[in-house]
């Protein structure tokens, strides 16, 4: 039963989905940062982000799997992650540049710049070590929430606590599935958290 739950959690909090989740949360805030964008434009932006940060990278990873370029969609071996992360980085950089062209507020630009740099961080580390990409995503999610509160007057304490809880749940799931060691899980979370905090700080 625990293994089944761990698999479900790993799918729900798949790292490619985190930018879309983060954007949806910011758009749900009763704050000018969200309300300044008309609802119809918000829907378009969410679609653009979902396509560039989830659908296209996932599609390319599936193609690589079908062509035997990677042995599994989980990319259990460190070496298998390098090309998928490189391609994902390209799409995340595209998402960041599209947000710049739309002239979105600085908060959104920092969110997607942080997401791009988190992918690059995972790519660099993957050349010599296997780190939890799930936890990099969750750490980035929590870091983005904290970062937003440093820029606009909004109380996200509850969401930060929820984010930390979900991060712990995701970390447990990755350990339960024997996908990572505890060190890889902790390092992933701290890495994603620090990258996003630095982006929002500077």
Provide the pLDDT for residue 152. Answer: 87
Provide the pLDDT for residue 140. Answer: 97
Does position 77 have pLDDT exceeding 90, yes or no?
Answer: no
Mean pLDDT across the chain: 93
Q: Which of 6-20, 63-77, 90-104, 122-136 has the lowest mean pLDDT?
A: 63-77
- How confident is the model over 111-139, as pLDDT tens digits? 999 999 999 999 999 999 999 999 999 99
Provide the pLDDT for residue 175. Answer: 94
What DSSP designation does 101 have? Answer: H
**SS in 3 state form for 28-88?**
CCCCHHHHCCCHHHHHHHHHHHHHHHHHHHHHHHHHHHHCCCCCCCCCCCHHHHHHHHHHH
CB burial of 97-120 (b: ≥16 within 10 Å; e: otherwise) equals ebbeeeebbebbbbbbbbbbbbbb
pTM of the model as a whole: 0.93
CA distance 29 to 99: 19
Q: Is 131 helix (H, G, I), strand (E, B) or coil?
A: coil
Find out whether 177 and 7 touch, Cβ atoms under 8 Å.
yes
Provide the pLDDT for residue 14. Answer: 95
Q: Which of 44-58, 76-90, 111-125 has the lowest mean pLDDT?
A: 76-90
Does position 75 have pLDDT exceeding 90, yes or no?
Answer: no
**HSE-CB for 112 with a 13 A CA cutoff:** 28
CA distance 29 to 108: 13
- How confident is the model over 130-168, as pLDDT tens digits? 999 999 999 999 999 999 999 888 889 999 999 999 999
Q: Is 177 helix (H, G, I), strand (E, B) or coil?
A: coil
């Amino acid at each position: 039963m625990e293994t089944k739950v761990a698999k479900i959690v790993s799918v729900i909090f798949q790292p490619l989905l985190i930018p879309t989740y983060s954007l949806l949360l910011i758009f749900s805030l009763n704050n000018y940062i969200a309300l300044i964008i008309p609802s119809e434009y918000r829907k378009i932006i969410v679609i653009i982000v979902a396509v560039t940060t989830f659908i296209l990278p996932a599609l390319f990873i599936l193609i690589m799997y079908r062509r035997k370029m990677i042995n599994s969609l989980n990319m259990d071996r460190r070496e298998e992650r390098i090309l998928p992360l490189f391609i994902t980085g390209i799409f995340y950089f595209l998402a960041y540049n599209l947000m710049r062209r739309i002239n979105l507020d600085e908060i959104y630009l920092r969110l997607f710049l942080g997401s791009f740099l988190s992918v690059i961080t995972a790519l660099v580390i993957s050349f010599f070590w296997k780190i939890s990409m799930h936890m990099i995503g969750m750490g980035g999610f929590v870091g983005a929430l904290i970062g937003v509160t440093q820029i606009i007057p909004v109380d996200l304490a509850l969401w930060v606590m929820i984010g930390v809880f979900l991060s712990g749940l995701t970390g447990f799931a990755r350990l339960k599935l024997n996908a990572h060691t505890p060190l890889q899980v902790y390092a992933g979370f701290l890495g994603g958290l620090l990258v996003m905090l630095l982006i929002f700080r500077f």
